[in-house]
């Protein structure tokens, strides 16, 4: 069995040696032009040239939770694309969002500014009832974050494309209920896959519908957010603050106003990194299951894009 790796970020060698150690029955290599077609591909942002050279694939494993980077490629229609599910990302995402929510809710920014001015002044405590949180997206990561925020005492609801009748929180579903969902929340966390129907879902209408003084956390993709609408809503006071981990262009171009905006906290796409060892363990488990003719989870539905 041949496994070919293509990692646009230059980490292919590390992935190939980790996969080779975990999968001694396979021949694993970093793809080079002219290589024979492989049985399985393990990729992060592969090129069209790589995909076109793979004429014998049984499956493509994408080493991330989001598969939007594959959407612009011509993929062989009958080959399953399998994405990572959790693989160590859920814990990181819980930490990131819980920290971001508590930091804002407990006004640590305000206290840091006061301390910088040598000011000792307690503010009146906030009430969690005034800070209902809403998660856009109720997949593996959305559910993990909802659980953490609930455990921390927040009232949490979610919005998803499909129905989640067994969820322990209210999950609004479908486009018709989206505005109702926005109206119910003040803290908005985006954890959606990026597809044509979720592009710029964080827009002026959404910000206007949130409870006044809304707080937006985007840990999904830059394409979900209309940055100009966000900056306008922050400047008008409609939104109180934003924490952003993902951007249309990464790194953010020098001089972009978002870098220095007083109400924006930003991080360089680190909310939930792919952990190579955990990812390899998951990929190898699924690859062996596929070889044995079993069904695996995390297969991307090409019609919906995630
Ligand atoms: C992912 C990411 O999709 O790192 O896993 O953003």
Q: Quote the ligand 1 centre to 254 CA distance (angstroms).
A: 23
Residue 264 bridge partners (DSSP): 242
Nearby residues of 122 by Cβ (< 8 Å), 6 or more positions away: none
For residues 226-234, average pLDDT: 98
Nearby residues of 140 by Cβ (< 8 Å), 6 or more positions away: 65, 85, 86, 90
Q: Interior CA angle at 299 toward 294 and 302, to 5°? A: 135
The residue from 83, 104, 221, 224 that is catalytic is 221
Query: Is the Cβ atom of 274 under 6 angstroms away from ligand 1?
Result: yes
Q: What percent of the chain has pLDDT over 90?
A: 97
The residue from 103, 261, 265, 269 that is catalytic is 269
For residues 94-122, average pLDDT: 98
Nearby residues of 238 by Cβ (< 8 Å), 6 or more positions away: 207, 208, 210, 212, 214
What end-to-end distance do the CA atoms of the chain give, in Å? 27
Query: Is the Cβ atom of 54 under 6 angstroms away from ligand 1?
Result: no
- Per the annotation, the verdict on 221 as an active-site residue is yes
Q: Quote the ligand 1 centre to 83 CA distance (angstroms).
A: 10
> Cα(91)–Cα(89) distance, rounded to whole angstroms?
6
The verdict on pTM exceeding 0.75 is yes
| Confidence at residue 77, expressed as pLDDT on a 0 to 100 scale | 87
């Amino acid at each position: 069995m041949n496994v070919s790796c293509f990692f646009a970020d230059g980490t292919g060698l590390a992935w190939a040696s980790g996969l080779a150690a975990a999968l001694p029955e396979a021949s694993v290599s970093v793809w080079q032009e002219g290589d024979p077609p492989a049985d399985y591909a393990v990729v992060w942002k592969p090129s069209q040239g790589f995909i076109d050279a793979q004429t014998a694939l049984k499956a493509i494993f994408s080493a991330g939770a989001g598969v939007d980077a594959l959407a612009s490629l011509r993929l062989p229609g009958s080959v399953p694309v399998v994405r990572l599910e959790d693989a160590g990302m859920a814990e990181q995402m819980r930490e990131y969002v819980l920290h971001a929510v508590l930091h804002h809710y407990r006004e640590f920014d305000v206290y840091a500014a006061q301390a910088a001015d040598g000011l000792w002044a307690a503010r009146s405590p906030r009430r969690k009832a005034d800070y209902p949180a809403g998660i856009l997206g109720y997949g593996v990561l959305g559910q993990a974050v909802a659980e953490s925020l609930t455990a921390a005492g927040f009232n949490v609801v979610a919005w998803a494309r499909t129905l989640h009748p067994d969820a322990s929180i209210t999950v609004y579903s479908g486009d018709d209920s989206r505005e109702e969902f926005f109206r119910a929340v003040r803290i908005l966390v985006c954890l959606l896959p990026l597809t044509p129907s979720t592009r710029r879902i964080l827009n002026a209408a959404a910000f206007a519908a949130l409870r006044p003084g809304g707080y937006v956390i985007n840990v999904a993709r830059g394409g979900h957010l209309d940055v100009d609408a966000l900056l306008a809503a922050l400047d008008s006071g409609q939104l109180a603050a934003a924490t952003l981990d993902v951007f249309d262009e990464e790194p953010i171009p020098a001089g972009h106003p978002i870098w220095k905006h007083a109400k924006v906290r930003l991080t360089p796409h680190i909310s939930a990194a792919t952990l190579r060892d955990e990812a390899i363990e998951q990929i190898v488990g699924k690859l062996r299951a596929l070889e044995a003719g079993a069904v695996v989870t995390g297969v991307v539905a090409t019609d919906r894009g995630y």
